[in-house]
Amino acid sequence: MNVWVLYGEDTDSSVDLAYEVRRMVAEAQKMDVNVEVFRPQEFDLLITEENRDSILVHGQHRPLPDIVFPYLAENDRNFFSFAVIRQLRQLGVPVLNNEKTIEKVGDKLHTHQILAREGLPTPTTLLAKFPVNLELVEKHVGFPVVVKTRLGSNGSGVFLIEHQNAFSDLMNLIEETNPNIQLIFQKFVSFSKGRDLRLFVVDGHVVAAMERRAKEGDFKANYSTGGTVQLFEPDAEAVDLALRTSEILNIDIAGVDLLFSEEGYTICEANTFPGFKGLEQATGENIPRYIFEAMQRRLGLSGHNPHASTGDIDIPVQIVSQ
Ligand SMILES: Nc1ncnc2c1ncn2[C@@H]1O[C@H](COP(=O)(O)OP(=O)(O)O)[C@@H](O)[C@H]1O
Ligand SMILES: [Mg+2]
């Protein structure tokens, strides 16, 4: 099986997802999988009437792979990369995940709109409009409020504002300086303060799960912001929510984040480029292998059923810090 991984950064670096790409290359060598890593910028797209051979690598035609895995760090999720993915799909190459899904899921508002429409539990979310109607925020969302940039990831665009005064000052500042910024205001799920769950879904199966805990004094549990992680044996409700979320959003390979609520769980967000460094450390699972096996199944090659191995995570619980 020939796989192209699309990754825009230096794989030897420590930037977002470089570790994961190295892990994928290393694991492929142990399987019958040939992985090549390309930056989207290495491609040129030629749109021709015949639409054959319409993708060039370093200006040259090149045999297409069996399957493509876009694994783009935040800076590389752009129009050009999405056009490359679309072109590959148009040439008949299966892509996990496709560009439409990536765009939809990268938009936190759109994600919550779809999940709410399908009746899945999500925190009440309001799209910001300037000038901000404080009464509306107070009435429907309440304080403390979680403020998020619509397209952010890795915890960088997420803030907790405790009181109305601070919120009002901040909104005035934003209105003065950057009124076009796209924000959402979200109900703070206090029951989950500083904790959440990450379930890793590969082609309709939850293959690993962990609980994440924020570092002291923080409310964001992201591993990338210094959270600690530990193995979590997901119960049926968590598995069901993660699978329904990925199915409804049409994500082949997903990181689904759940918040703890008094009633069970509520969905925080889904990710189409989930890292797995902390997850592998916490669970002892081999994530690249699950991904390659799912690809093999898609292509009608071998690839065993992950149900056979998900139930037997028998690594002792361990806490790992970044
Ligand atoms: N509504 C909320 N209530 C409580 N905690 C939240 C809420 N939204 C986000 N968080 C915390 O902040 C973290 C980052 O938020 P998230 O929406 O996943 O953004 P990002 O895409 O940057 O990871 C979550 O993992 C969770 O720990
Ligand atoms: Mg997140």
- pLDDT band of 313, cuts 50, 70, 90: very low
**Alpha-carbon span 46 to 203, nearest angstrom:** 31
Confidence at residue 49, expressed as pLDDT on a 0 to 100 scale = 79
At residue 129, does pLDDT exceed 80? yes
Ligand 1 closest atom vs CA 189: 3
Q: Are 42 and 57 in contact (CB under 8 A)?
A: yes
Residues with CB under 6 A from ligand 1: 123, 146, 148, 152-155, 157-158, 186-189, 192, 196, 219-222, 257, 259, 268-269
195-216 residues labelled b (16+ CB within 10 A) or e (exposed): bbbbbbbbbebbbbbbbbbbee
**From the centroid of its chain, how far is CA 138?**
30
Neighbouring CB atoms inside 10 A of 283's CB total: 24
Please state the rounded mean pLDDT for residues 40-48.
92
Give the chain's mean pLDDT. Answer: 92
| Distance from the alpha carbon of residue 41 to the mean position of ligand 2, in angstroms | 27
pLDDT value, residue 310 = 44
Share of the chain above pLDDT 90, in %: 86
DSSP alpha helix (H) spans, 188-318: 236-248, 277-283, 287-298, 307-310
pLDDT at 73 over 70: yes
Among 148, 183, 197, 220, say which to mutate for ligand 1: greatest number of ligand atoms within 8 Å of CB.
Answer: 220
pLDDT tens by residue, 197-208: 999 999 999 999
**pTM listed for this prediction:** 0.92
Name the residue of 193, 257, 271 whose CB sits within 8 Å of the most ligand 1 atoms, as the mutation to test its pocket.
Answer: 257
Residue 5: pLDDT band (50, 70, 90) is very high
Q: Is the pLDDT of residue 309 over 60?
A: no
Asked if omega into 131 is within 30° of 0 (cis), the reply is yes
What the block records as the tokens of 95 is 């892509």
Q: Which domains does the chain have, with CATH numbers?
A: 2-95 (3.40.50.20), 124-188 (3.30.1490.20), 192-320 (3.30.470.20)
Section 155-174 average pLDDT: 96
> Within 10 A of 318 (CB to CB), how many other CB atoms are there?
12
pLDDT > 70? residue 53:
no
DSSP letter assigned to residue 317: P
The SS3 assignment for 71 reads: coil
Q: How confident is the model at residue 213 (pLDDT cuts 50, 70, 90)?
A: very high
Provide the pLDDT for residue 51. Answer: 64
- Give the β-pairing of 125-127 and 183-187: antiparallel
- pLDDT at residue 303 above 90? no
CA distances from 302 to 94, 148, 174, 227, 243 (A): 17, 42, 54, 37, 23
**91 CA distance to ligand 1 middle (Å):** 37
pLDDT band (50, 70, 90) for residue 82 = very high
- Centroid of chain to Cα 82: 16
Residues 254, 206 contacting (CB under 8 angstroms) = no
Can you tell me which atom of ligand 1 is nearest the CA of 221? 27
Per-residue model confidence (pLDDT) at position 155: 87
CA 268 to chain centre: 11
> Do residues 5 and 38 lie in contact, with contact meaning Cβ atoms separated by under 8 Å?
yes
Give the distance (Å) from ligand 1 centre to CA of residue 11: 28
Min mean pLDDT across 73-87, 161-175, 248-262, 292-306 is at 292-306
Strand partners, 238: none
By the 8 A CB rule, do 225 and 154 touch?
Answer: yes
DSSP structural state of residue 49? S
Residue 308 has pLDDT above 70, yes or no: no
Proportion of the chain above pLDDT 70, given as a percent: 93
Mean pLDDT of 226-236: 96
In the predicted structure, residue 237 carries a pLDDT above the cut 60: yes
Confidence of residue 321 (pLDDT cuts 50, 70, 90): very low
